[in-house]
Structures are given as structure tokens and as C-alpha cells.
Amino acid sequence: MEYDFRKIEREWQEKWQSDKVYRVSNESDKPKYYVLDMFPYPSGAGLHVGHPLGYIASDIYSRYKRLKGFNVLHPMGFDSFGLPAEQYAIETGQHPAETTQKNIATFKAQLDKIGFCYDWDREVRTSDASYYKWTQWIFLQLFNSYFCNTEKKARPISVLVKKYETRGAMPKIGDPISGKHFTADEWNGFSKQRQEEILMNRRLAFSKYGEVNWCEALGTVLANDEVVNGVSERGGHPVEKKKMRQWYLRITSYADRLLEGLETVDFSDSMKEMQKNWIGKSQGAEMDFAIKGKDKKLKVYTTRPDTIFGVDFMVVAPEHELVTAITSAEQKDAIEKYLKYVKSRSERERLAEAKTITGCFTGAYAINPFDGKEIPIWIAEYVLAGYGTGAIMAVPCGDDRDFKFAQHFNIPITNIIGEYFNGEEANATKEATLQNSGFLNGLLMKDAIGVAVDKIEDMGIGIRKVNYRMRDAGFSRQRYWGEPFPIIWSDGIAIPLDADELPLELPHVDKYGPGPEGEGPLANIIDWINLPGGRRETSTMPGYAGSSWYFLRYMDPHNAATFCDRKASDYWNQVDLYIGGTEHAVGHLLYSRLWTKVLFDLGHIGYEEPFKKLVNQGMITGSSRFVYTLNPVFGYNPFEKDQYPDFSFPTVYVSKKYFDNYENNQVEVREKLEFIFKTEYQVPFEFSYNFITGPISIHVDVNVVDGVELDINAFKSKQGNKNSVFVTEDDGKYICGVETEKMSKSKYNTVNPDELCNKFGADTFRMYEMFLGPIEQSKPWDTKGIEGVHRFLRKLWRLFFDDVKGKVWTDSKASDAELKVLHKTIKKIEEDTERFSFNTAVSTFMICVNELADIKCHKKEVLENLLILLTPYAPHIAEELWSQLGNEGTILDATYPSFNPALLVESSKEYPVSINGKVRTNINLSLDLQQADVEKIIGENEIVQKWLEGKAPRKVIYVKNKMINVVV
RNA sequence: GCCCAUGUGGCGGAAUUGGUAGACGCAGCAGACUCAAAAUCUGCCAUUCGCAAGGGUGUGAAGGUUCGAUUCCUUUCGUGGGCACCA
């Protein structure tokens, strides 16, 4: 009986589905375990082999945990709102709902083919009204909450209103608009608009006019993490700053808690580092400098107050509000000119030319409060208006940018760090002892920081201050294919819908073009936006809205009364294992952590970190192949037309060797071409070096290349033209070039998992993906090695069935040697699986099967247990053989074999004995020996004596179970 | 520029706590079976000297700690990723 993987896999997949073996209950006596994949955006391109890597890993771990006796939740769904579907709609007119539907069907079919154990009954789609109803509901929770700065948590906005009505605003916070605090009486006297405006400044989801990243080409606003190097992450379109009314999430309030939460979760160091960098917390001081001859103060932010005596100039951002007020009459023209120049530059130019130093002196001077020194105030682009106070004190001896600026404009530099500053470049050390620094003289810089801040606070000219780089997250998009905001604008007041009015369904549109004045497509639907009491919000929520809480919906996917029943979220609790790529480090992962914290603060769920452990699968890069063409210069035909009227010059492909060193190989290429033309085309070939343009590399479909050797016939029919000539290497092979690149259709380096499943089976595919290398490492795809894994499964099959004899397994009792092989494997597989070392686990299986084949072990007792171990990795073949052995039901309900250490214990062992690091002999020793016994035996051993040449061993190192080293 | 990874045969990679480096697989070479092919099986496979036994050298490079380093430390180079005027 043969290993007919196609039949086996089809039948078992059908059976799993019809028997609903993967259905998960929220009630169980077993301990729970939640395994989650980052759900995909269902793009039109379908899956390539890079996508399933993480899914296979999570599937293996889920099945393993289930076998280990856990109630495992392992769901899947689709992040189905988003830009590409809408772009596609604009191009083709197809409704995004339709294309999304179609793409999801393709994705599901592809996923099912690989044999994942998803409970599809729990599938969620972010674009379903039954789902986004709750996305809207959570948005309203955010809208109706504020961040209480004393309790450091979210509370209902009604609590704040009550406070205002009874006590007014606390002195430190006050009216965020005027900056003044107000009494209860004042509050009650404010107009409704004024009150709402004040409240809007505290809501966690709020609307304000602000500078946003506007992308003209996409016709929408983008979040900071969606802009990369001044262009949009998707499509690479230019992005500019624009003032618009937008929705935001007040993520900055949670900066500290997001930072602290990282200590409680198991993420990789690099992932934590990325999030920390993004939040960008810095501690320092904010202090006021008097301005000579004016009654205004200049407020600066610094992390290095210890360098206060090294301040040689001040720099304020060009947009700073004081600029016009402090500019002297003489400098007025220069400053205006500079401001004009700054305004003319796009964000992109600014970023691209970051190294060029520009700036302009305002003519004003600030006064150093400690020594009365007059400090010139400059404006320059390199100081950002949006960070800190938009003004800095420049210390050229300690800061690189300040140093370069001082040099460029010939500003004298004060050295306060002695020999640490060499005059050539700035030194940002904190280890120097301060000089020329008044009351700080003689102090180590790192100690002086605290001393300086204390003094500043004592003098009442400044305060300690923490700053964050992170900004509030933009939350609206001028787009169609997203969640509509459940908000109605009325007289400038945002009025939320009631919970029972949800979902606010996305209306149907005929056109996907933008609305008037930068509004989204929804603004075009007059009937929909205009209501008796006001006008609907026309923007929609961004892609990350739906994905910020989907892990909760899986727990209770069909609940129409609430987003997730508290009982369900208490039972499943945190995601125990989350698997996905690093690309979501600062987007999705930060936002979902924020949403979880807010829901926790408001008492809707019982934990504030959504993901306990995160594993980032590495990217599978494509291994592109290249062919090299030699082309005749356009229009040139080297043959006499009259003689050969039908002949057109073929495309010439040269093998890699000739591309690498074309100059030196021209003659050889010419000879080979001449020969080919004479023999195959029967045409004379008068070659001129000049008519050919040198080899050009072009991508060739990896599927027509075997390793690096081109399958010429397949290439001709698939990509090239029939009339092509191949200049091969001397052995007749055409060798392609190789380069590792990101997998993409345009590079012809994608490999479709369906094809591999058809050719080798899903089990082979799953194991091979794991076998490629460590899960977290990115690695190039190479189809070639898949044969080896396939061979292993066939070999496993032959332990059960012989092609001729049929079934070969027996019921007889297993020998010690056979059990030893099994238990060695049990131990190793368990260790490997637990530490996500799936590649070594596959190796372990191969070794086990090889050993069992070597000792001709066909004992049911051994094989049955091996199958259970194998189930997570290759579920189809395991199920089939399990049932062939006469077992009922799914193997997933079998008992995971436990490792019996007694079987592996030996009484004695051959130890290698090395003398000064070189292995000289082997010695058989019993395992219960102690260090002293070994020393004695070694001292008496004849061979060792011989190698020691009469000297006594200085030291005997006995590493239990490993080796003995004798040192002379 | 700063931060974080990472570097091992022709290739993917293994070595879990400092203990015989190169497991397992691919590719390659030789052989068995076969009319032949496929499939399967056996042996070889870091490098160098040697007929062999055996020896030298080897984990990007240079140092260091140690009886012993792919593993720890310092310096340096290459690759990948993140951040980038954040004061």
C-alpha cells in the first residue's frame, strides 16, 4: 500500500470539518490555552509560501497543547477593511465588499489545504456589521472617557463633568483651551459649546484641528507609523502636512503605562526596544530664560541641565510663537527671508537634506540666569516645533548638532568638559568633571544633572519634566472602506450615537472618489450625511481600529448583546501565545495594548496586557533567479534580408558564466553562437561585436528553474519566446543568477503553497517550512530541499506498510532498544516543541525514523506513540496511520506519551578521555561515580599513564555524561 | 549617526548550561538492485599533509579570560532590521 497523500489529506480534511473536531468550548475542566495568529489582510494576490510560516508554527503548538490536555483556542479571521480593496474598487468599480468576500474565500481554501486546526465557527471579519458594531461601541467608550491624571487611568467622562460641576477644574490642569482653571460656578455658566470644547480636550478619542500627514495621491490622512521617510508606507506617495479636523486617540496619556507594561510581557528584546524608542520617553527640565530688553521669557526643554554653563546660543523652531516678537529691527529682513525659505521646503526635502545646516540670528539675546551671560537667539530648521517647547539651549561642546551649527556660523564655543572636548567634535559624555561651570564646578556631569535641576526648581525658573516622542494617534481617514464614526455633528458639538443605534452601517456608494474639501467618499451621499439634527461625521476609522480588539471577539464571536461576555474574557484571559511578523511593532501592537488598557480601566475586561508571549516569525525571502540576454541593437538584422526574409533575430540568452565576465568571454560566446546558427538555423552568421548590447539580467520565474539550472523548455513555453537561443556552459547547462529579495509577484520569485501541497502533500509542506530554519529568523525560500522531508514521510509510511506485503506492523512487545529510540524521541520532541525549535524537532523525527528502520522496528506499541508525537507536525498522515492501527476517533484526543527516564538510564558509558584537550582514549565507567573515584581510576589507567609520560595529572575534570579531561 | 540582531562546509542549518564543532537535510561523488528508468538501499563528503595509520588548521578578523571558547569579555569588519535633526 502506497502513501497516497492526496487522498489521505482530502479525506481527513473533510472528516475534520464534518465532525467539527476543532470546535472549542468556553466551558471545560481542562486548563485553557490561547494561541493567536496575526490575522491576515485578504489581498487579491492570495498566499505565497512566506505567509503560512507563522500559521504552521501556531498550528503545531496548538495541536501540541491540545494533546497535552489543554482546552486550546486557536481561531482565525480576516482584517478585511483597508485601503487596497478600495483602490481596487476605484480602478475597477467592483464593490470592496465583493472583492473582499472573494479574496477571503480564496484565503480560506488555501489555509484549509494546509490542514490548520482553526475553529472556523469563531471566524471574525472586521468588515462585518456584526463585528464593527462593537468596534464602534469601543470607540464610543473611548469617546466617553478621559484619562484621570491622579489615578492614572481611564474613567467615564461623566465623572469629570460631575467634578467640574461641583468643584471646577483642578488648578494644575484647568481649562485646556485658555490654560486657566475655573470654578464650578464658572463651568456652569459656560455655554454648551464651551463646555463641550473643554471636554473634547480630555476625551480619549477626540477631535481637533491639527497638522496631519495628508497624502494627496491616496486622498487621505495617515498615522505617523504609516509614513516612512516622508512618503506613504503603502504605495510610496508623497505626504505633506495639512491642517484639518481629525479624530485622535490620546495614546500619549498611556505612554508611561505602555512602557511599564512591557516589563510584564514576554516579547523579544528588539520588539520591546522598538516600542520604547517609539514612545521615546526622556527625562529633563523645562526652564525659562529672560530675554534682554523684553518682558517675555524663552522656555526651553533640555535633558542635560548640567551643561547650563556651556550654553553658547539658543535655537527656536521657525514656527515658534516668539519669533516675530523678539526679532530685532536689523534682523527683520533676514528672518523673514529665512522663514520664507523654510515654508517653501516640503517635509520630504527637509528630511532628505537633514544634514545641511541652515539658520538665522534673530538679534535677540537670552540671559543665562546663573552667570548673566548674554546668549544670542537663533532660529533654525533643526529644532522641531512639535517636540518639547520648540526651543533649545545649545551646548556646542556636548552636542553634535549644536557643535556643527556653531562652527558653521562661527559662534564661539565654551568648553566646560576640559580634555573631554578636543575642539574637533562634540562629546556627549556624562563622565566629565565640569569646569567653567559656576556652582557646578568640580562635579561629575551625571551627578550635576540632579543638582542643577534642584537649583532651577528652587529659583522658580523651571521644573523637572518628562517628554515623549510619541504623538497622539490620528484616527480618521478620508476613505470609504472602513468603520463609519457613530458621531453626528451639531452646532460644532460631536454627539455620539446611543449604543442601541449601533451598528451604524456603511452606506452603499456608487463612486469611490473623494468628497468635497478633502472629505471622504461618504460626504457625497447627501441623504446619508444630512440629518434633521445635524450632519454625520464623514471620515471612517483607520485599518488598525478593527484589529485592536479582535482577539477578544474570538472568545465570544456571536454575542449580539456585548462585544465579549465578561465570563468568556475572564475564562480565556490573555493570549498565551501570539505569533506574527515584526512589521506591526509600533502600529497594531501598540494600539491593541492601548485598547486593552482602556477596556480594563473601564472594567470591561480583567487584564490590561493582551498578549502574554509574542513570537515574531522571520520573513521568508524569495530567492530570485536571473537569465541574461544579449540583444541586437534595435532594428539591426545581421543577415541579408533578401536571402532569409522570414528570419527574425532570436533573443539570445547567455549562461551566468558569460554574464559575470562578458568582456573576456566575448570570443567564446561568438563561437558558440556561430555554431548554433549554422547547425540549428542553417543561416550564416556574420558577427559583429558592436550590434549586441551587453548582457542584461532579467527576472525569470523560479518555477522554471531547478536549483540554478534553467529548464529551457519550460522557460520557452512559460516566459520566453519560442524563438530563443541559449548559450550554455560547457556541460550543456544553462545556469541562472541568484539573488535574495523580498517575495513579490513582479520579481517572479513567489512560490504558491497550493502547488507544493498538490505535489508533495500538506504534511510535507508543513514540515519543510519548519525545517527551513529557526522560526524567528528570516531565511530564503528554496524549494529544492522539500524532497528530503517528503522522503522522510514515505519512510515513516514504510514502517507501517510494505509495497508488496501490505501491513507490516506487529503487536508483539517492544524491545528495550526499540523503546529507547522512542523515549529519546519523546524527550527531544517535547523539549524542541516547548522552545519553538521546530526545525530541530523535524530533524529529531527523521533521526527516529531512520533508527527504527535500521533496527527494523514495526512494533505497534512504538509506532503508535510516535504518531502522537508527530500529529502536530504532520496531522494528516498521523491521523490516517492512527486509524489504520485500529483506533477510533481523532488522534488529537489521544494521550500524549510521557517520557520514561528509566529507559534511557545506563549503568555505564564510554567516556572519551582527553589529555590537555586532545582525545587520547576511551574508557568505560559506571555512571554513579564521583569526581574522586574518577580521579583514582584515571590515575591508574595504563593508556593515560603512557600519554602522561610519567608525570602526575595536575587536574582531572570530569563532566558527567560528557567527557573526562586530564590536565598536566 | 544611534539602537538591536547576526556571521559555522558548496547550500539551509545543528551544537539547549563553557565540555569530542559540522547533527539532520539538500547538492555532489562512488556503489548495489534493474534490460532500463523511477523508487529504494549502502558508503564517502570542512580543509590540508599522508598509500594508510595518523597529524596540522579550522565557527568573519585580531586579542583576552579558561585546563577547555561557536558559546563569555574587548576591539574591528561584513550583513539584516529599527530609529533618525526628539535637545
How far does CA A457 lie from the centroid of its chain? 43
DSSP A337-362: HHHHHHHHS-HHHHHHTTTS---EEE
Q: What is the DSSP-derived secondary structure letter of residue A896?
A: P
Report chain A's mean pLDDT, rounded to a whole number. Answer: 86
| Between residues A371 and A747, the one the model is more confident about | A371
Residue A716 φ/ψ region, left for φ over 0, alpha for ψ in the -120 to 50 degree band, beta for the rest:
alpha
pLDDT of residue A750: 82
Angle, helix A96-113 to helix A83-92, in steps of 10 degrees: 120
pLDDT exceeds cutoff 80 at A232:
no
Residue A915 CA, nucleotide B55 C1', distance (Å): 16
pLDDT exceeds cutoff 70 at A863:
yes
Amino acid identity, position A376: P
Residues β-bridged to residue A724 = A651
The whole-angstrom separation of Cα A428 and Cα A767 is 51
Residues β-bridged to residue A697 = A628
Enclosing H/E stretch for A332: helix A332-344
Angle, helix A860-870 to helix A786-800, in steps of 10 degrees: 150
Residue A769 CA, nucleotide B24 C1', distance (Å): 15
pLDDT exceeds cutoff 70 at A215:
yes
Residue A779 CA, nucleotide B7 C1', distance (Å): 14
pLDDT of residue A684: 63
Residues β-bridged to residue A32 = A71
Closest nucleotide relative to residue A315's CA, C1' based: B87
Q: Judge whether A925 and A908 are in contact, CB under 8 Å.
A: yes
CA distances from A111 to A577, A754, A960 (A): 20, 9, 47
Enclosing H/E stretch for A256: helix A255-261
pLDDT of residue A176: 55
Residue A146 CA, nucleotide B2 C1', distance (Å): 36
The whole-angstrom separation of Cα A450 and Cα A454 is 6
The whole-angstrom separation of Cα A18 and Cα A75 is 18
The whole-angstrom separation of Cα A830 and Cα A516 is 61
Handedness of CA A819, A821, A827, A832 (dihedral sign): negative
The whole-angstrom separation of Cα A525 and Cα A522 is 6
pLDDT exceeds cutoff 90 at A728:
no
The whole-angstrom separation of Cα A543 and Cα A476 is 10
The whole-angstrom separation of Cα A572 and Cα A73 is 8
Closest nucleotide relative to residue A958's CA, C1' based: B19
Closest nucleotide relative to residue A831's CA, C1' based: B16
Strand runs (DSSP E) across A355-449, as ranges? 360-367, 374-379, 391-394
Residues β-bridged to residue A392 = A315
CA distances from A103 to A78, A88, A118, A514 (A): 10, 12, 18, 25
Amino acid identity, position A656: K
List alpha helices for A711-815, DSSP H: 712-718, 753-760, 762-771, 786-800
Q: What is the DSSP-derived secondary structure letter of residue A690?
A: G
- Using DSSP's 3-state secondary structure scheme, residue A147 falls into strand
Residue A879 CA, nucleotide B23 C1', distance (Å): 29
Location of C-alpha cell 475553529: A119
Residue A784 CA, nucleotide B7 C1', distance (Å): 24
Among A54-58, A559-563, A602-606, A939-943, the range scoring the smallest mean pLDDT is A939-943
CA distances from A827 to A60, A281, A845 (A): 17, 45, 12
Residue nearest to nucleotide B23 (CA to C1'): A843
Write out the three cell numbers for A482.
472602513
Closest to A648 (Cα-Cα) out of A658, A636, A656: A636
Residue A911 CA, nucleotide B41 C1', distance (Å): 33
DSSP A88-99: HHHHH---HHHH
| Cβ neighbours of A261 (radius 10 Å) | 18
pLDDT exceeds cutoff 70 at A892:
yes
Residue A208 CA, nucleotide B11 C1', distance (Å): 57
Residues β-bridged to residue A378 = A315, A361
The whole-angstrom separation of Cα A44 and Cα A588 is 22
pLDDT exceeds cutoff 90 at A596:
yes
pLDDT digits (tens, 9 = 90+) for A417-475: 888 887 777 888 888 888 888 898 888 888 888 899 999 999 988 888 888 989 888 89
Residue nearest to nucleotide B80 (CA to C1'): A778
The whole-angstrom separation of Cα A437 and Cα A417 is 9
Nucleotides on chain B within 7 angstroms of protein Cβ: 1, 3-5, 11-16, 19-20, 23-27, 39-42, 55-56, 67-68, 80-83, 85-87
Closest nucleotide relative to residue A586's CA, C1' based: B82
pLDDT of residue A689: 47
Within 13 Å and on the Cβ side, how many CA atoms surround A35?
Answer: 22
Within 13 Å and on the Cβ side, how many CA atoms surround A848?
Answer: 28
| Between residues A232 and A607, the one the model is more confident about | A607
Residue A924 CA, nucleotide B67 C1', distance (Å): 22
Location of C-alpha cell 525545517: A771
CA distances from A918 to A650, A921, A922, A934, A965 (A): 64, 9, 12, 18, 8
Closest nucleotide relative to residue A280's CA, C1' based: B86
Amino acid identity, position A766: R
pLDDT of residue A632: 61
Q: Judge whether A582 and A615 are in contact, CB under 8 Å.
A: no
ipTM above 0.85, yes or no: yes
Amino acid identity, position A36: L
Closest nucleotide relative to residue A390's CA, C1' based: B87
| Between residues A479 and A145, the one the model is more confident about | A145
Residue A908 φ/ψ region, left for φ over 0, alpha for ψ in the -120 to 50 degree band, beta for the rest:
beta
What percent of chain A stands above pLDDT 70? Answer: 93
Write out the three cell numbers for A6.
492526496
pLDDT digits (tens, 9 = 90+) for A348-367: 666 666 667 888 999 999 99
Handedness of CA A244, A249, A253, A254 (dihedral sign): negative
Among A167-181, A379-393, A499-513, A759-773, the range scoring the smallest mean pLDDT is A167-181
Q: Judge whether A865 and A900 are in contact, CB under 8 Å.
A: no
DSSP A575-609: BSEEEE-GGGTTTHHHHHHHHHHHHHHTTSSS-S-
pLDDT digits (tens, 9 = 90+) for A464-497: 888 898 988 889 888 899 999 999 999 989 999 9
DSSP A132-144: HHHHHHHHHHHHT
| Between residues A746 and A822, the one the model is more confident about | A822
| Cβ neighbours of A46 (radius 10 Å) | 17
pLDDT digits (tens, 9 = 90+) for A774-803: 999 888 888 888 999 999 999 999 999 987
CA distances from A863 to A779, A813, A821, A890 (A): 33, 12, 11, 16
Within 13 Å and on the Cβ side, how many CA atoms surround A341?
Answer: 12
Please give the radius of gyration of chain A, using alpha carbons only, rounded to the nearest integer: 36
Confidence of residue A635 (pLDDT cuts 50, 70, 90): low
Closest nucleotide relative to residue A585's CA, C1' based: B82
Closest to A714 (Cα-Cα) out of A757, A760, A748: A748
Closest to A241 (Cα-Cα) out of A398, A349, A143: A349
